[in-house]
Every structure is written in C-alpha cells, then in structure tokens.
Amino acid sequence: MAAPLSTTISIDPSTRTRFTIVTPLTFTHRNFSIHCTASESIPQTPPTSTTSNTKNKKNNNKNSSLFDQLSPLANTTLSNTTSKDQSYVLSKPKSTWVNPTKQKRSVLSQQRHKRVPYSYSPQLRDFKLFAQKLNDSGDSEAEFLACLGEIPHELTRENALLILNSLKTWQKTLLFFNWIRTQNSLPMETIFYNVTMKALRFGRQFGKIEELAHQMIDEGTQPDNITYSTIITCAKKCNLFDKAVQWFERMYKTGLMPDEVTYSAILDVYAKLGKVEEVINLYEKARATGWKPDNITFSVLGKMFGEAGDYDGIRYVLQEMKSIGVQANLVVYNTLLEAMGKAGKPGFARSLFEEMIDLGISPDEKTLTALIKIYGKARWSRDALELWDRMKENRWPMDFFLYNTLLNMCADVGLVEEAETLFRDMKQSEHRKPDSWSYTAMLNIYGSEGNVDKAMKLFEEMSKSGVELNIMGCTCLIQCLGKAMEFDGVVRVFNVAVERGVKLDDRLCGCLLSVVSLSHGSKHEENILACLQQANPKLVAFIQLIVDEETSFETIKEEFKNIMSSAAVEVRRPFCNCLIDICRNKELQERAHELLYLGTLYGLYPSLHNKTANEWRLDVRSLSVGAAETALEEWMWTLTKIVRREGTLPELFLAQTGSGTHKFAQGLNISFASYLRKLDAPFRQSEEKVGSFIATRKDLVSWVQSKFPSGAIAT
C-alpha cells in the first residue's frame, strides 16, 4: 500500500520514534545545497488505525467505546500513566497504589468457565453410530432430515451434544441444531449454541454465527464467555475486526466480565488492527488488578511487537515474562524469534534459540523456518549453514515451508550449489515437489547470479509442468534478462505474465524501469517502454517529461511528488535511482541533479550525508551508478564552494559504496572508482575497508585549487 507523500511535518503518534523535522532549504538551479540532511516527510506508516476511538467519544454512552467505559476504571486502577505516554516500554515504573487497601475494580474475571464432563450415557454406542450415519448421509437437507427419522432413542441433552460435536460439516451441525430446536423437547442451553457456533467458525460462517447470537439473545438464552470468545475469534478469522470489537463492547455493556480467554482474544484483535497503545493499555489495566497472563497472551504481544518491528516491545514482553515468572513455551519462542527477525535483530534471535535449546525445548518446523529466514535476510551464511547441519544431525522436523525457506535463504546468501542440490532432492521426493515458491526461489538465485540460460530453462520447465509463474518469478526473470541485455526475452516474459493474468505491481515496474535505462541507445528501448506503458502509463509520461529539456523544475517537482506518492514505499528510491540513470544516459546531468535533489527532499536518501567534526561521509550504498555519480558531483561542487569562501572543512572525507557482501551484488565500488579516476579526484580506496574511498582535506583542497585557477578562488 502506498503511504501518502507529504511536504508538511508529520508526527504520527503511532510511531513513537519517527519524527521528521523540516528545515528551510533553499534551492536554485545549478546551485544545489547538499546539506539536505533534513527531509520533507513521507510517512512510513499509513495513518489509518490510531484515531478510531476518538470517533466514538462524542457519542452518548449507549454507543460508547470500550475505552470510554473503562476510563473510570483506569482512573482508579492506574496511577501516573497517561494514555499519551510515549515511553510505555521499560521506562515506566510498575504501577504504584495510592491506597493499597482499597479494592481495585476488575477489568476481567479471574474465574474461568468450569468444564463439566459428560455424564455417562448407556446409549453412547448407539448415538456414536447414529452420528456416523448422519455424517455419511447426503449433503442435502432432505436426505439429512430423512436420516434423522432413524434416531435410536429419545434425545437427551448429553446425546444431543455428542452428535452436535460429532458432525463434520457446519451445514449438518446447523441442520441438527435447528432440528433440536423444532423438536421442542430440550431447553436450549447456551452450550448448544456454543458448540454450533464452533462448527460455524470452522466453516468461517460469521454471518450465520451472528444470526445465532441474535437469536439466542432474543429468546433469552444468555451468551457466556465461551459464546463471546467464539464470536470474536470467528470475526478475527474472517478479518472482520470491527465486528470483533463490536461484540466485545456489547459484552461489556451487558455487564458480563470477560475472562482471560476472551480477554486475550480481544487483545489479539487490537494487536492485529495495529492498535499497540490500546493493547498495552488493556494489558496493563488487567495486570493492575492481579491478572497473571499466560503464554498465549505473551505470544499475542510478541507477535504484535514483531509486526511493528519494535525491539523495545519485544524486550518488554521478555521482561514481563521474567518478572511474572512465566516460562516461554515453544509457541512463544517461535513468535519471539519471528519478532526478533522483523525487528532486525538476528543476534538476539540466535541467543533466544540457543536459550530455548538449552532449556531442552525441541525446535519444530516453525522455529527453524523463522531462524533460517532471519539468517538468510541478515546474510549470515555461516550461521545458516551451521543450523542446516544441526537440523540434519538432530533430525529436526522439516516441512514444505522449511524447504522453501532454505531455498530462499540460499538465494539471499548466494549458495547456488546447495540450492540446486536441495531443489533436485525436492523434485525426486514423493511429497515435496517444488511449487511456485520453490521455482521462484531458484529464479531469484539464477537471476541474481545473472545465469540467463538456467533461469530460462526453469521458465520453460514451469510452463511444461504447469507450475504457475508468479509476480516475483516474473520480476526476477525480467531483471536477469535485462542485465544480460536480452531485451526480446524481457518483452516475451512480460507478455507471458500479462497473458496469464499476473497482477503487475510496483516492483515489476521498478524492474522494467531499470531495463529502460539499460536499453538506452538500443533499438529495443521503445519496446521496453511499451511494456512499461502497459504496467504504469504515468511513469512513462513522467519519463517523457524529464527528458524534455523544456520542462520546468516546478512541473518536475509536482509530477515527481505525484509519482512517488502513488508508488509503494519500498520502490520509491529504486524509481528515483532509475530515473536519474535514464537522465545521465541521455546526458541530461542537470535534470539528474534535480531528481537527486527531489529524492533527498522527499526523504528517499535519508543517510546520504553524515557529518562529524573530523569527517564528512557520503554514503551511496543504496544508490544506482548514475545516482552515485550525481551525488559525488554535488558533493564536490559544495566542497568547491566552501574552499572558495574558505569555510571550515573536516580532516577526512569518506565515500562509501559498500563492499558488496552479497555474493551477487554488482560492483558499485568498481564503477564509482572509475568515476573518481575520471574526475581525477584524490580519493584512495581504503585498505582496511573495501568499498570505502578516503581523501584528506589537504589533497582535496589542492585538487579543487588545481581545477580552478587561483584567481578564480580568491573572493
């Protein structure tokens, strides 16, 4: 989803750490400031979910939200915490009571529903057989009802429940439920509704569940915690989060207190809505009344913080577990591992895994999938291979997800042969035939490696064996063919994708855009542009605009903003990089500088410049070759200006291109080095750090002075 692109200050309360400060930045053609460390902001998270409660606040209490209802409780149970408190994690002291003897009002019931075992029925065997017969009956209502005529004995409460629980489709459960109702021989207890609702939930029939709920309310059968938690989790399963919240609030309004099951279910609903503050609020309110959360709650919290990439949140969960004395189980470890990965902490994931092994908890497929994925994304090939060996050694469980994750990991760290072996094994296996994910991983590997022949062979193989080509496989292929300058192949693959109805996304457009820049000067440029025209006509129109020297900067700025606003966040920088390359190919250097300026202005290059008193650093690691050259030129112009007016300069200048730790990474450092030579700039390749270029102030100043006659420098 595209986040809005904005030129105003944006402080999104849901992202606690992300503030963007706009400082005035003057811009004149040809005279670019490189001090663009501040940026106009593009919010990274769509501002969607944070305001839903304020909407309800104005309504009367008939429709008031849960938080309004709970706020009097909050005032009495929580001290010195405001809901706007940004530092809820770790720094907040545990709640302190003003009056510890005063009874705190509860937000949840500590008592769970007691399970009543079924009483013995002498007709159990007969009814089990009868249930079997009903399951085997035809699916039509008539057949089912005919079968019901053969009921062996009069229906008791226990036997009715037995049958309700034994029917295998929700349709039959519902028919049987309605039949009991019409028989009128048994009082309709809550448990009948609950069992039926559970069957409906299995079939994701939220509408039917709601009908039943209204029906029971109408006839005066009280819904209990089991009813509500079933309704809420069904809504959740059907992605009807508003409905889940609605039913939870309804429950409060009827005066029924949720127990811990319902409570953790609703915590999960708010977590899935991304309402982190609300979840913490509810969690702490319940904690304050003495509730002892269990592993399920911690799994919900861990998942939520993982989705938010919030490392502090994950630490908060670990700390809470420790202080409450709850030992994590396998599910919690799996969730927290996954969360550590999302928060970008592979090292902590590794220690968490070792901690779990030391405790004697055996990893399952999900554990290993999470960890292999993390090592792959972090490019920790040694850890990934070590873990892979341990998996084989210990015969830890493997499944299809794990196989495909291993393939993806191989793609991430550049293990071509290992991937080929695994892929071959999968083909030879009975139950783990490669699917579209597996093929995509292999296409990714061959694509990154630039192995056109093997990639195309896989492509043909997929068509033959009927494995669907998905958007990512398609993008990998196009990228691979483009880099190999096989533009006819690009067009062919693109057309196949369109024919098969692959939905074209922004990444594919970015890929095509890079092919456009590569095809410059060849007879194929028009054909590639025609593909892009189909995928994203606005982008093609923008290219036409930027390559026309007559277009004013104001127009470029406006259209740039439009293009980037509607593009997915992750493709904005690649788009800008490619557009700069296209301009430089056509020797439209000035336009290239304008685009780099705009990219910087809109925060697409947030860490391009780093300055300390001793060192100025240009970090071009996320730039394309053309964009990196443009950035270097701009840097040098600024230095020239500063030298001219005899401003202060640091001792050291450093340009970083990255060493290309990725096995497949194409050498930006090589092209950057040759451009430095072309400019005859006094940067030297650092000996200890590959991909770093260093220059001293002395050398740079004399270089600047030699480029400009001394008279020109005097002011």
Partner DNA sequence: ATAGGGTTAG
Report the site for DNA in 396-415 (rule: CB under 7 A).
Answer: 399-402, 404-405, 408
In whole angstroms, what is the distance from residue 548 CA to residue 544 CA? 6
The verdict on 380 binding DNA (CB under 7 A) reads no
The verdict on 199 binding DNA (CB under 7 A) reads yes
* 609 bridge partner residues: 618
The verdict on 295 binding DNA (CB under 7 A) reads yes
Sheet bearing 692-696, strands edge to edge: 609-611, 615-619, 652-656, 692-696, 684-685
Q: Name the residue nearer to DNA (CB basis): 402 or 564.
A: 402
The verdict on 373 binding DNA (CB under 7 A) reads yes
Binder of DNA out of 40, 249, 259, 581 (CB under 7 A): 259
Structure tokens at 569: 């966040």
By CB under 7 A, the count of residues binding DNA is 76
Distances (CA, A) of 384 to 272, 353, 435, 460: 30, 13, 23, 31
Q: Name the residue nearer to DNA (CB basis): 345 or 373.
A: 373
- Max Cα-Cα span within the chain: 113
The verdict on 196 binding DNA (CB under 7 A) reads no
CB of 380 to DNA, least distance (A): 14
CB of 326 to DNA, least distance (A): 10
CB 276 within 8 A of CB 304: yes
CB of 573 to DNA, least distance (A): 15
Q: Name the residue nearer to DNA (CB basis): 356 or 620.
A: 356
Q: Name the residue nearer to DNA (CB basis): 268 or 581.
A: 268
The verdict on 622 binding DNA (CB under 7 A) reads no
Residue 370, C-beta contacts closer than 8 angstroms, at least 6 positions apart: 334, 337, 338, 341, 349
Q: Name the residue nearer to DNA (CB basis): 296 or 357.
A: 296
In the chain, count of helices (H) and strands (E)? 34, 5
The verdict on 395 binding DNA (CB under 7 A) reads no
CB of 42 to DNA, least distance (A): 20
**Given the DSSP bridges, would you call strands 692-696 and 684-685 parallel, antiparallel or unpaired?**
antiparallel
Residues in the chain: 715
In whole angstroms, what is the distance from residue 669 CA to residue 657 CA? 5
CB 223 within 8 A of CB 217: yes
Binder of DNA out of 156, 190, 533, 565 (CB under 7 A): 190
Cα–Cα nearest to 532, from 518, 515, 512 = 512
The verdict on 473 binding DNA (CB under 7 A) reads yes
In whole angstroms, what is the distance from residue 464 CA to residue 156 CA? 59
Binder of DNA out of 244, 261, 529, 598 (CB under 7 A): 261
Q: Name the residue nearer to DNA (CB basis): 291 or 597.
A: 291
The verdict on 10 binding DNA (CB under 7 A) reads no
Residue with tokens 């007691």: 114
Binder of DNA out of 262, 448, 577, 669 (CB under 7 A): 262
Q: Name the residue nearer to DNA (CB basis): 236 or 275.
A: 236
Q: Name the residue nearer to DNA (CB basis): 261 or 655.
A: 261
The verdict on 208 binding DNA (CB under 7 A) reads no
Structure tokens at 638: 């600024």
Contacting DNA within 47-106 (CB under 7 A): none
Residue 268, C-beta contacts closer than 8 angstroms, at least 6 positions apart: 236, 300
Binder of DNA out of 248, 298, 348, 575 (CB under 7 A): 298
Contacting DNA within 117-146 (CB under 7 A): 118
The verdict on 205 binding DNA (CB under 7 A) reads no
* 459 bridge partner residues: none
The verdict on 553 binding DNA (CB under 7 A) reads no
CB of 670 to DNA, least distance (A): 27
Q: Name the residue nearer to DNA (CB basis): 77 or 225.
A: 225
CB 71 within 8 A of CB 61: no
Q: Phi first, then psi: what are they for 161, rounded to 5°? A: -65, -40
CB of 347 to DNA, least distance (A): 19
Identify the burial level of 486 via C-beta atoms within 10 angstroms of its C-beta, where 0-12 means exposed, 13-18 middle and 19 or more buried.
Answer: middle
Residue with tokens 């300055």: 611
Identity of the amino acid at 10: S
x-marked contacts with DNA along 268-287 as a string, rule CB under 7 A: x-------------------
Q: Name the residue nearer to DNA (CB basis): 472 or 528.
A: 472
Buried b (16+ CB within 10 A) or exposed e, 16-52: beeebeeeeeeeeeeebebebebbbbbbebeeeebee
In whole angstroms, what is the distance from residue 369 CA to residue 112 CA? 35
Contacting DNA within 516-545 (CB under 7 A): none
Q: Name the residue nearer to DNA (CB basis): 161 or 385.
A: 161
In whole angstroms, what is the distance from residue 431 CA to residue 415 CA? 24
Contacting DNA within 421-450 (CB under 7 A): 435-437, 440
Contacting DNA within 309-368 (CB under 7 A): 329-332, 334-335, 338, 365-366
Contacting DNA within 225-254 (CB under 7 A): 225-226, 228-230, 233, 236
Binder of DNA out of 74, 244, 321, 370 (CB under 7 A): 370
Cα–Cα nearest to 113, from 228, 238, 17 = 228
Binder of DNA out of 66, 195, 462, 497 (CB under 7 A): 195
CB of 458 to DNA, least distance (A): 13
Binder of DNA out of 472, 509, 563, 583 (CB under 7 A): 472
In whole angstroms, what is the distance from residue 101 CA to residue 88 CA? 26
* 206 bridge partner residues: none
